[in-house]
């Protein structure tokens, strides 16, 4: 158990809908990262937050947004869902931002299926 929690574990929804994925980092970790893992794109970095502030953006679509709250939990919002958004979404956390030495601990993931 990495200490990172994600809810829900599975989500099935229809095209055009909006969903929210939730992540609670390990106790004490200030950074939260979101990743998308799909069969054709592999593991893609989406976005990073550090202590409530956006720190880095990767291949995140404009239909997607995220935020980190004062209690450090984070939410990833996916809107106008398309079939291609079906993927495993991971949240990870680490201790400090911008420091290459801090490994990221991954949550169990949320499997999103868009029908």
Residue 92 sits in the site that holds another protein (CB under 8 A): yes
Which x/- pattern over 49-68 shows residues binding another protein (rule: CB under 8 A)?
------xx-x----------
Q: Write out the H or E segment, with its range, that includes residue 56.
A: strand 53-57
Residue 73 sits in the site that holds another protein (CB under 8 A): no
Q: How far apart are CA 89 and CA 95, in angstroms?
A: 21
**Closest among 37, 38, 39, 59 to 48, alpha carbons compared:** 59
Residues within the interface to another protein (CB under 8 A): 2, 33, 42-45, 48, 55-56, 58, 88, 90, 92, 97-98, 100-106, 108-109, 111
């Amino acid at each position: 158990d990495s200490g990172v929690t994600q809810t829900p574990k599975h989500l099935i929804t229809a095209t055009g809908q909006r969903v929210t994925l939730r992540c609670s980092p390990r106790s004490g970790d200030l950074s939260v990262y979101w990743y998308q893992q799909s069969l054709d794109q592999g593991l893609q970095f989406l976005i990073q937050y550090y202590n409530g502030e956006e720190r880095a953006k990767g291949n995140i679509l404009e239909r997607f947004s995220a935020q980190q709250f004062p209690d450090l939990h984070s939410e990833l919002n996916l809107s106008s869902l398309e079939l291609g958004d079906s993927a495993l979404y991971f949240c990870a956390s680490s201790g400090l931002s911008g420091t290459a030495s801090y490994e990221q601990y991954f949550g169990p993931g949320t499997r999103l299926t868009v029908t």
